[in-house]
């Protein structure tokens, strides 16, 4: 007997299971020669998923004689080889994790998508104000007019904060940090608009709550 309260979790698990079985992933390490004459070879990784292939350099090299082509790892027990093999294991694990995340997010799973997620290309292109504008232009149908007005005030506060404090008009989401959050909160507490003396503690916390939600 299945309790009704467990059905959502069961459905998610089945969905993940089915999607996972329809998406295969292969990760293969290989080498290429340097363009210039060298005893070392450059390490690459080949990602194969759903009939698509993508390769990328790992910016590492190894003497040709120390590369084990069967196991696709460095041969030997020197500290450099052990460090290199540990790095390759980390790359392998991270690529599989990116694949798992795409499946969980119900994204189109291709070798290019996995590579982009591994390199962080998707996150690099998004900015804080882009996120805020997207929120404020899509949520007006589900939020009250007064609530949307408050989100607009938070957006203006962020714009006023970014230029004098960070010298930029916008900031990448990937660059947001704990320091940014603390600086913004302190700015809200110091800011003195013409209509009132300063932002109250409750007002500052409301701005922070809206920022966190977005």
Reported as a pLDDT band with limits 50, 70 and 90, residue 2 is: very low
Q: Are 27 and 92 a contacting pair, CB within 8 Å?
A: yes
Token match 């966190």: residue? Answer: 212
pLDDT tens, residue by residue, 34-86: 878 789 999 999 999 989 999 999 989 999 999 999 999 999 999 999 999 99
Q: Residue 48's pLDDT is what?
A: 97
150 shares a domain with 81: no
112 shares a domain with 23: yes
147 shares a domain with 67: no
Dist. CA 128–CA 134, nearest whole Å? 10
Q: Which residue has the higher pLDDT, 201 or 160?
A: 160
57 shares a domain with 149: no
Q: Give the residue from 124, 153, 169 where a domain finishes.
A: 124
Total residues found in the chain within this entry: 214
**Adjacency order of strands within the sheet including 52-63:** 25-33, 40-49, 52-63
Q: Which residue has the higher pLDDT, 213 or 48?
A: 48
Residue ranges making up the domain that contains 203: 128-213
pLDDT tens, residue by residue, 78-125: 999 999 999 999 999 999 999 999 998 888 899 999 998 888 765 556
162 shares a domain with 205: yes
What 3-state DSSP class applies to 87? helix
pLDDT tens, residue by residue, 146-177: 899 999 999 999 999 998 888 888 888 878 88
Decide the pairing of beta strands 67-68 and 73-74: antiparallel
Q: Residue 195's pLDDT is what?
A: 46
Q: Residue 13's pLDDT is what?
A: 43
Q: Residue 204's pLDDT is what?
A: 85
Closest CA to 64 of 38, 93, 92: 38
How many independent structural domains does the chain possess? Answer: 2
Q: Residue 164's pLDDT is what?
A: 83
């Amino acid at each position: 007997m299945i309790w009704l309260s467990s059905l959502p979790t069961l459905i998610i698990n089945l969905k993940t299971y089915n999607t996972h079985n329809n998406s295969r992933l292969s990760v293969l390490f290989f080498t290429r020669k340097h363009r210039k004459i060298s005893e070392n070879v450059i390490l690459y990784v080949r990602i194969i998923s759903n009939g698509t292939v993508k390769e990328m350099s790992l910016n590492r090299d190894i003497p040709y004689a120390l590369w084990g082509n069967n196991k696709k790892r460095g041969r030997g027990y020197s500290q450099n080889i052990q460090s290199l093999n540990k790095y390759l294991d980390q790359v392998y694990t991270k690529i599989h994790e990116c694949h798992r995340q795409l499946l969980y997010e119900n994204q189109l799973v291709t070798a290019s998508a996995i590579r982009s997620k591994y390199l962080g290309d998707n996150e690099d292109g998004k900015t804080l104000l882009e996120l805020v504008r997207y929120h404020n232009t899509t949520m007006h149908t589900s939020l009250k007019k007064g609530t949307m007005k408050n989100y607009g005030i938070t957006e203006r506060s962020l714009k006023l904060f970014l230029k004098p404090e960070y010298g930029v008009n916008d900031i990448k989401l990937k660059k947001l940090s704990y320091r940014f959050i603390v600086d913004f909160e302190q700015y809200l507490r110091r800011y003195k608009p013409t209509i009132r003396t300063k932002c109250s503690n409750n007002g500052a916390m409301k701005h922070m709550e809206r920022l966190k939600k977005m």
